Structure formats: C-alpha cells, structure tokens
Structure 1
Amino acid sequence: MRMAELSERSGVPTATIKYYLREGLLRPGHRVTATQSTYGEEHLRRLRLVRALIQVGRMPVATAREVLGAIEDESIDHHARLGSAIRALPNDGALDAAFESGELDEETEAARRRADELFEELGWTFALASGAAEAAYRVLVGAIAGLARTGYPCELVDLLPYGRLADQLGVTDIDMVERYGDPYEQVEAAVALTVLYEPVLLSLRRLAEAEESNRRYSRGS
C-alpha cells in the first residue's frame, strides 16, 4: 500500500507517519521509485503500537524508541517485551530521589516494610526480586506512607483484601492481552489496556462504594 492508504487505514496523518519514519519508530517502506515507497501490514501493526505508546501511554519519542528496540530484541522472551513497555509508562516519581539516596523517613521506611509483608502474604516474589515493577512499588510505598501519616488504616489486614483483588485483576489483564495473537498487538494491548482500564477500575470502585453505602445506610432515599 502507498502512504496515503497507510494513513487512511491507520488513522495516522501522513505528516505524522513521515515524522515516525524520520525518528526511526517506523521501518522504511519498500522503495519503488526515487520518491515513493510501499508499505505492508507490518507497518500498519507498528503504527498502531507506536500510537499506543505515544498517544495512549504518553511516552516521549525517545522512550518509545527504546521500548520498540526491546520488543524487537530476539534475545529476550515475550514476558520481558511486555514488561519493557509497561515499565516505561509514566509513574509518580516523587519517591525516586529518596529511594536512590537511601534517605527514607520513618513513615516511608515502615511503609516499605508493610508493602514487603503484603507481597510475602500474597506470594508475590518476581516483581519485587527482579525490580520489574520498581516504579509501581515506589508509588505503593508512598501511598501506604500517606495513609500512615494521616492516621488511616494501613496495616497488613487492611491492605490484604486489596492485594487479593489485584492478584485476580492481574490474571484478568493477561487473559485479555492473550486475546490478541500477534506479539506486537499484545504489547499494544498491554499498554492501552493498562492506561485505559485504570479509570474504569477507579470508577467502578466509587460506584461500588455508593451501592454498598446504599445497602447499609439508606432508608429508601
């Protein structure tokens, strides 16, 4: 297909496609003349992945380029490819400097121990030991520390129900990703679903709280 058809089928403007080509995010097409090239289905799949990384995942172009390089690295398995894309998604980096320097305040240090206890209770060993989800771990520690500082429940018994629900969600997420047969589509889905389903989870939680409050406290209002 020519670039105009590639643009039409992908929904990506030709100017953006040319930009992705210049930045090395999209492989060059097959040259047919000095000024024209043709593109195949693999270019269409790559465009969808690039859009998922940059537009949905809000990755900088340089980060997307690194992720795409990891995806194409045949020396790593599919698990590592998925992980490289998810780890590159933006996270709250407020605790990064403290973790790197090792200067954690008392509440944060206690929160880290509590998070580790939670992982042990859930039987989660890979993410913590490998650093595969280090950014998410730091966000979790910061959230637990915030609960502790404000005096709200954050003991293991309080966190464990959330951890068990998250364990089930992890299975659901990967099951959904596996609906896509092509490895590139799976990485695209992992990025898009991670970003787009987080507001779904937040909204459903708030709706569920309203339902439960109504069950417990409503007098027919």
Structure 2
Amino acid sequence: MKISELSRRTGVPVASIKYFLRQGLLPAGRATAATLAEYGDEHVQRLRLIKALTTLGGLSIAATRDVLGAVDQADSSEGALGAISYALPVPVAAQGAAGPEEEAEADESAAAEVAELLATLEWQAPDTSPHVLGLTAALKELRRLDARYGPGELAAYAALAESVARLDLERAVGVEDPVALAERAVIVFAICAPVFELLRRLAQENQVRRRVAGADADSTPPR
C-alpha cells in the first residue's frame, strides 16, 4: 500500500508517518521509485503501536524509540517481557528538599523497608531494578510527608498488585513469537496501566459517594 493508504488505515496523518520514519520509529517501506515506497501490514501494526504508546501511554518520542528498540531486539519470551518492563518509564515520586544527613538516613530507611517487603513476599527483583529504586524513592517521599504506610498496609497493596500482575501476564499466554509477545507486553504494561488506574479512581469515587450517602442517612432524624 502507498503511504496515503497507510495513513487511512491507521488514522495517523501522512506528516506524522514521515516524521516517525525520520526518527527511526517506523521501518522504511519497500522502495518502488526515487520518492515512492510500498508499505505492508507490519507497518500498520507498528504505527498502531506507536500511536498507542505516544497517545494512550503518554510516552515521548525518545522513550517510544527505546521501547520499540527493546521489542525489535527480543530473542526469547522471557527476554521480551524483561526488556519491555525495564524499557518503559518508571513512575518516580517528586523529591522534597532535605539535608545531606537526612537524605542519607531517609534513603537507608526506605531501602530497608523495600528489601523487607520483597523478602516477605518472596518476590524476585535485584536491588538495581528500576522498579525497586522507584519504590524506594516513593516510600522516602511518603516518610518526608509523614504519610508512610502502616504495618501490613503496603503488603496488602502488594498482594493486590500481584493479582493484577497475574491477570496482565495471562493476556500474553499463547503468544510464542518473541517480537509479537514484546508488542503485547507493551500494550499490557504501558497502555493498560491507565485503565487500571482509572478503575481504581472510579472505585475510590464509588466509596466516597457511598460513605457520604451513608453519613447523610445516619444524620436524618427519625420520624
């Protein structure tokens, strides 16, 4: 298909397709003339993935290039999942101001809390994992704001997260090709995350409304 047809099938403007080609996000088509090229279904699939990463996933062009690079280099199922998990941006909590001694103490305390949690859960993750480092930074900031989790609270959230992770990985069952699996992982890890977060917020909204309605009912004087 020509680039105009590729644009029509994917909903991506021709100008954007040319930009993705220049940035190396989209592989070049098969040249048919000096200024013309033919594109196939693999370009349709890649463009939809790029569009999803940059719009739904909110990734920058540079981050999208890193993720796609991890997809293209995947040579095994485990490698594909691991590469995607590490390539995607890690949520990092905003850092408050603190002195050098306070900073070091907070780092040590938060790191110990994360290590204890992982040991209790028997989760496998090295200290160098960006997710371990991100969680450590987040817990440090919670400590600074005096809003840390109480005993057992973080473990309860972790148990829920493990259930979600199982559901996530079940969506990749049956995908044998490493690149196809990596692309599925991108969708699950990067794009389904906002869906889960919105479900969580809707659940919070529901709880708030129910509690307010319950409080109003309790305050209504009997007839």
TM-score range, shorter chain: 0.7 to 0.9
Question: Once the two structures are superposed, what CA deviation does each residue of 1:17-61 show, in whole Å capped at 9, x if it has no partner?
Answer: 011111111111122233222111100111112122323333332
Identity, % of aligned positions: 28
* Aligned residue runs from structure 1 range 131-210, under 5 A: 131-132=128-129, 134=130, 136-152=131-147, 154-178=149-173, 182-183=180-181, 185-190=183-188, 191-208=190-207, 210=209
Rg comparison, structure with higher value:
2
CA RMSD of aligned residues (A): 3.3
Give the superposition deviation at 1:94.
Answer: 4.5
C-alpha spacing 1:150/1:102, structure 2 compared with 1 (3 Å): closer
Letter in 1 for 2:26: L
Whether the aligned pair in 1 keeps the contact of 2:94 and 2:141 (CA below 8 Å) is no
CA distance in structure 1 between the partners assigned to 2:41 and 2:127 by the alignment: 35
Whether the aligned pair in 1 keeps the contact of 2:93 and 2:137 (CA below 8 Å) is no
**Structure 2 counterpart of 1:114:** 113
**Structure 2 counterpart of 1:31:** 31
**Structure 2 counterpart of 1:89:** 89
Letter in 1 for 2:30: H
Structure 1 residue runs of 5 or longer lacking an equivalent are none
Q: Alignment partner of 2:152: what SS?
A: helix
Give the superposition deviation at 1:170.
Answer: 0.8
Structure 2 residue runs of 5 or longer lacking an equivalent are none
**Structure 1 counterpart of 2:73:** 73
Q: Name the TM-score, length of structure 2 as normaliser.
A: 0.77
Q: Name the TM-score, length of structure 1 as normaliser.
A: 0.77
Question: Once the two structures are superposed, what CA deviation does each residue of 1:187-206 show, in whole Å capped at 9, x if it has no partner?
Answer: 34122112443233233244
Give the superposition deviation at 1:129.
Answer: 1.3
**Structure 2 counterpart of 1:52:** 52
Question: Are residues 1:10 and 2:10 paired?
Answer: yes
Aligned residues: 212
Give the superposition deviation at 1:93.
Answer: 6.3
Whether the aligned pair in 2 keeps the contact of 1:53 and 1:64 (CA below 8 Å) is yes
Whether the aligned pair in 2 keeps the contact of 1:54 and 1:61 (CA below 8 Å) is yes
